[in-house]
Amino acid sequence: MTPVAHLDAGVSSEARDPSTSRGPSRLTHAAASQLEKIRTIVVDDHQHIARLVANRIATLITEKQAAGERTVLGLATGSTPIGVYRELIRMHREEGLSFRGVITFNLDEYFPMGGESIHSYRRFMWENLFSQIDIDPQNVHIPQGDVAREDIDDECRRYEDAIVRAGGIDLQILGIGKTGHIGFNEPGSGAQSRTRLAMLDAITRRDAAADFFGEDFVPREALTMGIATILEAREIAILATGEHKAPIVQRAVEGAIDIDVAATFLQNHPNTTFYVDRAAAAELTRIATPWLLDEVEWTPELTVRGVVWLSQKVGKGILKLTRWDYAEHKMSSLVARYGTPGAVNGEVFNTLGAKIRGKSKLPRGKRIICFSPHPDDDVISMGGILRKLVENENEITVAYMTSGNIAVFDHDVRRYVDFLERIAAEGKVEATSVVPLAKTVYDFLEDKKAGDVDIPEIQDIKRVIREAEAVSGIEVMGLTRDNAQFLNLPFYQTGKVAKDPIGPADVQIVRELLERIKPDLIFVAGDLSDPHGTHRMCKEAIDAALVELRSMVPSSLPEVWLYRGAWQEWPVTDATYLVPMSQEELRLKIQAIFKHQSQKDSAPFPGHDEREFWQRVEHRNKETAAVLDRLGLAEYFAMEAYVVE
């Protein structure tokens, strides 16, 4: 097929730039289209995506209403489109956007699944959109997940007929799964498939495990629109955010059409737009290696990325790269800019070397806040530098932003309650307090079903378990419980995997801590791929608090260092600073991680990596050091990476 153009008439100039790589580029639209078979818009973050897609929906509704026509929307569930729905709700409340006459059809629903279940997509849509806009409930269509098995075929035909009677879908919203599925069209779904009952792929079920508090509780089947049904929509918007989506985005946009990757069928659709943030776009050729497509402007940042890529591609240290290596990989223009390979090699080598910060080059005697979204992110992601900062006599506060209580297994609660009962039986604590608490806990857990929201007593026990583990972890680093602040931000206190939006109360708590501590430096989680979005939401609260402080006392804002580590690490090309660790320091970091026993062996929310957190940390920290070694720089045992924002 002929690739469609890569410009969209109502998109900001930043989003329209087809290069969207860090640093300016002169990539032409034709060059960017050489490999991209779906129109793709890359923006800074998920909020920008939400605004773009919501604006497109609002424009469509307004145009249809002006023409006396109904708008038919195809909707999706999940963490990615929820931002779109929140923006639509805002536009309804603040700008008068009306959904009267709008008809909706959802992509899918688990089977079997009652409509009132906490896991139901029907409930998800009503909680996150329909109950907060003026849509007619009779115009809402969601596959019936609780239909009798013998009636499934009739339900699927009814759903297809309803779409036809509505005049077809004007705009279909899609997400993309790790396998490339759209809806629940798993690998093997054909181009002619229609609404049907589908078996869920093992990877899809594993990815959904966090929402169901364990993979064993994830349904094995789902009702889903088929590929052909989706492709009949007049316009399609597919959304992806986060580093973990980068490989499948690249495959869907640049790869061949393949029955094993359902999203590739969108290449045959005449009006599909892929909206991705920079993290999800990272492996697109125009982002990762734009010099392979067209002439580029070799900014300092792009120069470092290019030379590191070339070094890794040819398997040579940076200082050993030759003119021939550059010529063979379409990078002669870079050598021409510097005059000789040695000149460019030397500059990049020195740039990378300057990123390395041992203890003597780290802050000393400063006020520092480490913001930890969950009660273990501090030691998992920055345990190495945390120990060095303690040794440098900095005044450190570790601010745990959420309780992390949903990530504690029920068996841990039973164990701690049994401990309390035994202490009470020996007269060490008042049995009058312990006995009724134990009965309340045991009675609830006896009848608890997967996904049920814990009663307050159990939520509190799980919170305290994690707080005690957090204190134990920082004690390994040389800190005490006095260095720990437990913020318990309200957005997290739903008792469910799904959280409330960040609100003024969350921002106020963060701002008040910043005002009280007056830090010179803060550490913030830059992981955007955690499985339930808490890291991203915590960063949103911190960013909002800093904006408020900037309007009040702009001269006293702290420096911000972003860390990663729980889900991935910063590439050495992106990192501002690389902090080396000795074998003993890495061992100490792992010991601190071990203190989080509720997350040990099998964490409730492991994400896409089945290894324990300490195993991921050990591998990533060693691999970051190994990358520098392979590039020809100094050899270190392990290393953490940080980006100064």
Q: In 3-state terms, what secondary structure has residue 172?
A: strand
Contact 521, 558 (CB under 8 A): yes
Q: In 3-state terms, what secondary structure has residue 393?
A: coil
Strands 395-400 and 484-486: parallel
Q: In 3-state terms, what secondary structure has residue 217?
A: helix
Burial (CB count <10 Å: 0-12, 13-18, 19+), residue 174:
buried
Nearest Cα residue to 125 out of 85, 155, 177, 173:
85
Give 3-state DSSP helix, strand, coil % of the chain, rounded to 5.
50, 15, 40
Amino acid of residue 88: L
Asked whether the CA dihedral 395, 401, 405, 409 is positive or negative, the reply is negative
DSSP assignment of 312-367 equals: HHHT--GGG--HHHHHHTT-HHHHHHHSSHHHHHHHHHHHHHHTB--GGGS--S-E
Strands 140-141 and 108-111: unpaired
Residue 186 among the catalytic residues: yes
CA 533 – CA 80 distance, rounded (Å): 10
Query: Around 430, how many Cα atoms within 13 Å sit in the side-chain half-sphere?
Result: 4
Contact 400, 374 (CB under 8 A): yes
How many CB atoms are located within 10 Å of the residue 158 CB? 15
CA 413 – CA 509 distance, rounded (Å): 28
Q: Which of 36, 87, 109, 186 is catalytic?
A: 186
For 166-286, strand residue ranges (E) read: 171-174, 196-199, 221-224, 235-240, 272-277
Nearest Cα residue to 513 out of 400, 405, 378:
400
Cα–Cα distances in Å, from 360 out to 231, 290, 388, 579, 583? Answer: 59, 38, 9, 11, 18
Indicate which residues carry an active-site annotation: 186
